[in-house]
Structure 1
Amino acid sequence: MASKIRSNANNLQVLYEDNHIIAINKRAGDIVQGDKTGDIPLSEVVKQYIKVKYNKPGNVYIGVAHRLDRPTSGIVVFARTSKALPRLNKLFAEKEAKKTYWAIVKNKPEKEKDTLTHWLKRNTKQNKSYANKKEITDSKKAILDYRVIKKLDNFYVLEIDLKTGRHHQIRSQLTFIGCPIKGDLKYGFNRSNKDGSIHLHARKLSFIHPVKKEAITILAPPPNDPIWNASC
């Protein structure tokens, strides 16, 4: 197990690093935090990276401040100190971090750009959220802005700015307007990607550093595949 973690740590794509935080470009398929699958989470891989790079004895501190869905790629920020973690948690909880995603969809949205507002209701048994036009029992308001940024041969690239952070929000809202994300069988795309990924990528994250109080913007290159490569 340790050798496998070490191998993964060698392949880690670090986007930003200082004494308090570290930002990783998560690969589709990686889990951010341990779950019932028992698969090695990214948080453990980052611990091993820190341990080896700085020759740290004993346990290494890594705090999980937010997550990405397993089939999604892109920016994940971890706290490296117990001082930074509650501040990062507060920053994400109060929507003080600006999150921008890229999504590749088969169908062109009706509008080139728009603000989508829905009420999402989560089905925990299905691990799925359903978008509704009006508020219903146990639903939560979800808002995002999107715009079409590129036309590919058979797909469209959307840039999405999240205004709220709901469970499967982008996936659910885009499906509601007839634009499921490439590879996302759960939300209505007709075919899965071979590697189990979906073409949703956390592209940019902007926030005020929780300790240094400086403005930071982090960019993550999309995965290396023909469609993502064509989108850049």
Structure 2
Amino acid sequence: MRIPVLFEDNHLLAVVKPPGIPSQEDETGDPDMLTLLKADLKERHGKPGNVFLGLVHRLDRPVGGAMIFAKTSKAASRLSEAVRSQSFGKTYMCVVQGAPAASAGLLRHYLWKDQKRNQVTVFNKPQPEAKEAILEYKVAASDERFSLIAVKLHTGRSHQIRAQLAYIGCPLVGDLKYGAAKQPGIANIALWSTSVTVPHPVSKDEVTFSSLPDAGVPWSWWEDGQLTYAAKLYI
């Protein structure tokens, strides 16, 4: 499988992750992003032996969109530090059932993940072992049944967008785990990584890599201009 490349130099690799592929090897043994990209780099650059590629951040298996990897150990270390220092920016778009009460806002909750069930519980107040989760959202378009929403993450918790939006009554289309109704033709949850912004590990210049969703439902419910508008709301 060829993964679309957004940018590549000696230090960074930015790609478009297709929905349905795990970020790294898991118990299913299915092809994963790290393995596929290492094989692609080895083939394209004719490299002998093992190819280094560092996983900097993850996207849930059903999620597609912009994703970056480190091509050297030094780049991996510096990008990981950017994640820890919150200088690593991530924006998303999603399609949800219904519409939030406010057309824009900031959500602050506390999330506890059940590792066995791979599911997050949301709390309004701090709880033992629950982690603070913060995101901003803006409604880009809405009809009587669904809304197209842009999201900017302030924290990177597991299932954060899925769980927080479901908690306010707007589960992501296709996300049965968090209460969405079944929709015909929906193979993955309606969540897309629209941009990743990081300080380049060598030049230190801020770089942004962007991606729009693939064709197909539910993205085809919206006009191209609406999708582009949603993708740029937080860039």
Whether the TM-score (by the shorter chain) exceeds 0.5 is: yes
Query: Displacement, 1:192?
Result: 5.7
Question: Does the CA-based 8 Å contact 1:184-1:192 persist in structure 2?
Answer: no
1:31-110 → structure 2 map (5 Å cutoff): 31-110=22-101
Moved more, 173-182 or 84-93: 84-93
Corresponding position of 1:138:
129
Query: Displacement, 1:154?
Result: 3.8
1:1-232 → structure 2 map (5 Å cutoff): 8=1, 11-152=2-143, 154-191=145-182, 194=185, 196-229=187-220, 230=222, 231-232=226-227
1:152-202 alpha-carbon deviations (Å, 9 max, x no partner)? 574211000101111111111001100000000001101166564100011
Return the TM-score normalized by structure 1.
0.92
Which runs of structure 1 show a deviation greater than 4 angstroms over 4 or more consecutive aligned residues? 192-195
Query: Displacement, 1:82?
Result: 1.3
Query: Displacement, 1:55?
Result: 1.3
Question: Does the CA-based 8 Å contact 1:32-1:41 persist in structure 2?
Answer: yes
Corresponding position of 1:3:
none
Paired with 1:22 and 1:227, the residues of 2 have a C-alpha distance of 28
Q: Which AA in structure 1 matches 2:190?
A: H
- 1:83 aligns to what SS in structure 2? helix
Query: Displacement, 1:125?
Result: 1.3
Distance 1:97 1:177, change over 3 A: same
- 2:201 aligns to what SS in structure 1? coil
Question: Does the CA-based 8 Å contact 1:183-1:193 persist in structure 2?
Answer: no
Return the TM-score normalized by structure 2.
0.90
Paired with 2:169 and 2:39, the residues of 1 have a C-alpha distance of 42
Moved more, 21-30 or 149-158: 149-158
Distance 1:192 1:130, change over 3 A: farther
Q: Which AA in structure 1 matches 2:36?
A: V
In structure 1, list runs of 5 or more residues that go unmatched. Answer: 1-7
Distance 1:94 1:193, change over 3 A: farther
In structure 2, list runs of 5 or more residues that go unmatched. Answer: 228-235
Question: Does the CA-based 8 Å contact 2:213-2:219 persist in structure 1?
Answer: yes
Paired with 1:39 and 1:93, the residues of 2 have a C-alpha distance of 29
Question: Does the CA-based 8 Å contact 2:186-2:218 persist in structure 1?
Answer: no
Question: Does the CA-based 8 Å contact 1:185-1:192 persist in structure 2?
Answer: no
For the aligned residue pairs, the C-alpha RMSD in angstroms reads 1.4
Identity, in percent, stands at 38
Corresponding position of 2:232:
none
Count of aligned pairs between the two proteins: 223
Q: Which AA in structure 2 matches 1:221?
A: L
Query: Displacement, 1:58?
Result: 1.5
Question: Does the CA-based 8 Å contact 1:109-1:179 persist in structure 2?
Answer: yes
Paired with 1:96 and 1:224, the residues of 2 have a C-alpha distance of 31
